[in-house]
Structures are given as C-alpha cells and as structure tokens.
C-alpha cells in the first residue's frame, strides 16, 4: 500500500478543513466535534443516543423520547459546504417514508442525497415506524396496547421540529419548512400540514392516502388497510390507532386531510399519483404494487376533488401508468425539488385573517389559542380572526387567547354577539400583549359528532361573533 503524495495529502487536509468549517456554520448549539460530527444536544423531549456520519452530508441519529416505546432513527442531509457564510440559515424539508419503512429509505432507495445535491437545503428524514413495523399513521394512538401508546404526532411536531431548529441553522418559520411523504407518509405529510398550517408552507404527497374519512369510498378503502396494518404488522388489536369507526369517527376525521382541507388554503400543495398499471419504470411489476397504487390513486383523486370544491389550488400530477414502488417516488422527488426550492424562495404569505377547523379540545394556530369547554368530542372553527375580532363555531363555551399584538395596558371593548344575546365587557391588555376572551356558544352537545358513523347525529353548531375595539 502506498501513501498519498504530499499534494494529495494537502488536498485531503483542505477538504477536511472545509467540511469542519461548514459543520461549525451549520451547528451553532455545540459546533462540530473533533471527528467532524456535529454535536446534537438533548432537549425538547428528545435524548440523543448516538450520532453517526455516513458521508460528509449524511448523518444518522438514534434518539429516545417518552412519546415512543422504543428508540427512533432520524437521518439528516446537510447542505453543501458554505463556510464563507457562517450565519446563513437554511430551509428544511421533512421527508417521510411509508409503511414498514425506516428513516434510511429515502437515501438508500429514493436517491434523496443526489437529488438535493448542491441545494441550500436541510432534509430531515425521521422514522414514522419502529423496527420496520406498520407504523402509527402519524397520530397519538387512541388505544394503549402491550407496546404502550405511541405518540407520533407529539414526537414529530412538538419535539422533533423544535429540536431540529435548536441544533441546526434553520429558517424557523412556515416559510422555511416543507413536508413530504410517500404512501402512509403522504397521508402524514398532508395530515400534519392540515393540523398545523402555521408550521409548513409547502406539503407534498407521493402516492399518498390523503382521504381517510371525508368520502364514503375512501372510508371503505382505507379502513381494512389500517386494521390489517395494526393486526399483521404492528401486532396490536384492530382500531388501536384511531379507534373504532362506529364510536370514534370524529377522531378519524380530526386527522383526515380531506376533512381538514380548508386549513390548507394558504399553502403550496403538490400531489403525485400513478394509476397502478405497469409503467415505464416497472421492469417486473408486481400485483401487490399495482393494487396498492390503484387504491391510492382513488384516494388522491378524491382529495384533489375536495380541494377543487373549496377553490384550493394544488399541483396535481396524475401521471398515468405507474405502480407503488421506489422508482416512481424517486422520480417524484426529482421533479418536485425545483418547485420546493421555488416555494422556499417565494413563500406563500401567512393569511391576513385566520380560519382553522379542529376537533381538539384546545389548539393553537398562528398565535391564537382556543380552549373549548364542552361535554363531547366535536369540531369547532375559528373564522376570520384578526386583531379586530373573530367568529367562533361550536357548542358549550370557549376561552380564546389572541396573539401578542396589542399594547400592554390598553383597554378594549369586547362584544360577543350570538343568536341568544349581545354582551359587551371591558378588557385590559396584559404584559403578554394578548387579550383573553370568554365566548358562550350555548349548551354543549351531548352526543359525540359522527357517533355511529356516517353523518353527524345530534350535533348543533352555534355561532358567536366577537368584536374587539380599542377605547
């Protein structure tokens, strides 16, 4: 074995120096260790168990969290070296795998590293399944099982995003975040975007299942698939993830991108699907991959029609022949990366007025916080919310906290107008620059929305308009 020449050794030292400098620029919290691997800190509910550098751009971390019953993997693709600009921040693409996959899939089978080469972009690829099981459909499970009660949404949304922002030089706003996924991960991407529109400016589904509740045809297609995933792959009882449809349909709908489609209005949306027939990238097509793609083709069509009915634009690529397989998803990402970067360069603005629908008892969006006080689970909607007031739909009562946009100590007339009464009170802005408003919506419903499946039974929706005027 011969040693490199002096010139070659100098070149290697120069390359190493550039990489370390770039690492220092990208990891402000702890910098780069002597090995060139950045130091990722424990925090935001995530404990770092190990960090492995696969190549100069690609890292794999193993993390533990109380939200999951076992450690999870996260792969991270870093942008090319940018040592000349140590303060530069980068947008983040959260890229999700499919059923029985893992965090490594997009780099081992989806060509993500080459596709993003040369792009000023961080790509975060977390597990949405553990140990190759069927995955948890990116929700906090309805049922506690022998494996515990996985809380995937808590892990991805409440922990992973702030942890990434705390460890890397990211653009920490919806303008700097996109989320995409394939198959089950396509559902996850659209569900997270619809449930958290203030976190993501762009969402993409590759052969996804973005309708699990809105359309009857979608319910018939999806229910046996999710139940089979629970039984055969997760090894838990059926209906552990969302609950039984006969009694917990509201929980299915609460995570369904099609039901929540109105929340996606101010976002860049991209949908890719084949029709299941053998296509140009299928040298040896299989019956299963054809059948699955034919099913998600229907679900994507239904979701697209739902968006159209609401006047919400999406880039819809129904590309015809193609199966449920990696050559198509790798091609989807190659075709999508340019539009993703364009969306980062020219982000969709946040809405001037906030409208948001959720079935959660309390939720926060764009700085607004709503806590519903009611006896049963049902949807509520915050509409036309800005500094001058808002409309609230639901039953029972609510406590609404505004964003921090008012002058501390200022006095406001708060007028609540409903079909039952009009009431005006005086409120003073606190040091947090927010107003807290109590809203009465009439008696709480006593029957859970969608109870028994199908249309709502016994769900009365009351409306209150709230006007905020400075004195």
pLDDT, one tens digit per residue, over 345-381 is 999 899 999 999 999 999 999 999 999 999 999 999 9
Instruction: Name the band, by pLDDT with cuts 50, 70 and 90, for residue 457.
Output: low
Residue that terminates a domain, selected from 322, 345, 368: 345
- Whether 181 is covered by a domain: the verdict is yes
Domain that holds residue 195: 6-345
Query: Are 380 and 328 members of one domain?
Result: no
Query: Are 52 and 196 members of one domain?
Result: yes
Whether residue 103 has pLDDT greater than 80 = yes
Query: Are 273 and 383 members of one domain?
Result: no
pLDDT tens-digit readout, 30-53:
445 445 577 899 999 999 999 999
Query: Are 335 and 358 members of one domain?
Result: no
pLDDT tens-digit readout, 411-422:
999 999 999 899
Residue 263 has phi, psi (to 5 degrees) of -70, -10
What mean pLDDT is predicted for residues 423-450?
Answer: 95
- Could you give the 3-state DSSP secondary structure of residue 271? strand
| Euclidean distance between CA atoms 209 and 52, whole angstroms | 33
Tokens 């921090």 belong to 404
| Euclidean distance between CA atoms 187 and 166, whole angstroms | 27
Instruction: Name the band, by pLDDT with cuts 50, 70 and 90, for residue 147.
Output: confident
Of 137, 149, 194, residue with least CA distance to 360: 194
Query: Are 140 and 105 members of one domain?
Result: yes
Query: Are 221 and 307 members of one domain?
Result: yes
pTM of the complete model beyond 0.85:
yes
What mean pLDDT is predicted for residues 91-106?
Answer: 98
Query: Are 321 and 411 members of one domain?
Result: no
**Tokens found for residue 67:** 């939200």
Query: Are 40 and 175 members of one domain?
Result: yes
Tell me which H or E stretch contains 252: helix 245-254
Whether residue 99 has pLDDT greater than 80 = yes
Contact 297, 338 (CB under 8 A): no
- Whether 301 is covered by a domain: the verdict is yes
- pLDDT at 4 (0 to 100): 38
What mean pLDDT is predicted for residues 191-207?
Answer: 98
- Whether 1 is covered by a domain: the verdict is no
- Whether 146 is covered by a domain: the verdict is yes
Query: Are 293 and 385 members of one domain?
Result: no
Query: Are 244 and 271 members of one domain?
Result: yes
- pLDDT at 323 (0 to 100): 97
The total domain count for the chain is 2
Of 218, 306, 221, 317, residue with least CA distance to 274: 317
Whether residue 29 has pLDDT greater than 70 = no
- Whether 176 is covered by a domain: the verdict is yes
We report the CATH number of the domain holding residue 13 as: 3.40.50.1820
- Could you give the 3-state DSSP secondary structure of residue 328? helix
Close Cβ partners of 124 (under 8 Å, ≥ 6 residues apart) = 74, 75, 76, 92, 93, 94, 95, 160, 164
- Could you give the 3-state DSSP secondary structure of residue 309? helix
| Euclidean distance between CA atoms 325 and 95, whole angstroms | 16
Residue that terminates a domain, selected from 345, 363, 384: 345
Query: Are 94 and 134 members of one domain?
Result: yes
Query: Are 369 and 328 members of one domain?
Result: no
- Whether 95 is covered by a domain: the verdict is yes
Give the number of other CB atoms < 10 A from CB of residue 291. Answer: 12
Residue that terminates a domain, selected from 317, 345, 373: 345
Close Cβ partners of 243 (under 8 Å, ≥ 6 residues apart) = 142, 143, 251, 252
């Amino acid at each position: 074995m011969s040693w490199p020449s002096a010139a070659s050794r100098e070149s290697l030292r120069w390359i190493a120096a550039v990489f370390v400098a770039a690492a220092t620029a990208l990891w402000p919290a702890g910098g780069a260790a002597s090995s060139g691997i950045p130091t990722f800190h424990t925090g935001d509910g995530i404990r770092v168990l190990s960090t492995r550098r696969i190549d100069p751009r690609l890292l794999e971390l193993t993390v533990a969290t109380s939200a999951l019953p076992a450690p999870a993997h996260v792969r991270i693709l870093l942008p090319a070296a940018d040592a000349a600009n140590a303060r530069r921040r980068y947008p983040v693409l959260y890229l999700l795998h499919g059923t029985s996959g893992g965090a490594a899939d997009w780099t081992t089978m989806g060509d993500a590293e080459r596709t993003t080469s040369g792009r000023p972009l961080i790509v975060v690829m977390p597990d949405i399944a553990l140990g190759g099981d069927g995955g948890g459909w990116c929700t906090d499970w309805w049922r506690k099982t022998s494996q515990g009660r996985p809380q995937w949404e808590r892990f991805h949304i409440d922990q992973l995003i702030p942890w990434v922002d705390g460890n890397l030089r990211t653009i920490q706003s919806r303008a700097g975040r996109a989320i995409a996924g394939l198959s089950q991960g396509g559902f996850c991407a659209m569900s997270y975007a619809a449930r958290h529109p203030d976190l993501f400016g762009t969402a993409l589904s590759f052969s996804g299942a973005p309708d699990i509740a809105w359309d009857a045809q979608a319910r018939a297609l999806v229910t046996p698939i999710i139940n089979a995933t629970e039984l055969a792959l997760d090894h838990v009882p059926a209906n552990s993830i969302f609950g039984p449809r006969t009694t917990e349909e509201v929980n299915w709908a609460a995570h369904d991108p099609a039901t929540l489609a109105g929340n996606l209005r101010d976002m860049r949306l991209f949908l890719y699907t084949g029709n299941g027939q053998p296509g140009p990238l299928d040298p040896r097509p299989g019956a299963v991959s054809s059948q699955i793609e034919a099913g998600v083709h229907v679900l994507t069509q239904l979701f697209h029609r739902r968006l159209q009915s609401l006047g919400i634009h999406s880039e819809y690529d129904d590309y015809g022949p193609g199966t449920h397989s990696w050559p198509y998803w790798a091609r989807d990402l190659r075709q999508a990366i340019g539009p993703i970067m364009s969306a980062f360069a020219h982000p969709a603005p946040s809405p001037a007025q906030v409208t948001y629908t959720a079935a959660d008892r309390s939720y926060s969006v764009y700085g607004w916080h709503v806590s519903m006080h009611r006896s049963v689970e049902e949807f509520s909607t915050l509409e036309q919310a800005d500094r001058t007031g808002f409309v609230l739909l639901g039953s029972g009562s609510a406590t609404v906290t505004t964003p921090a946009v008012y002058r501390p100590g200022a006095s406001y007339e708060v007028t609540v107008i409903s079909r039952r009464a009009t009431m005006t009170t005086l409120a003073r802005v606190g040091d947090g620059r927010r107003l807290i408003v109590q809203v009465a919506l009439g008696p709480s419903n006593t029957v859970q929305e969608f109870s028994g499946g199908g249309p709502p039974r016994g769900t009365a929706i009351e409306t209150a308009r709230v006007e905020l005027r400075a004195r």
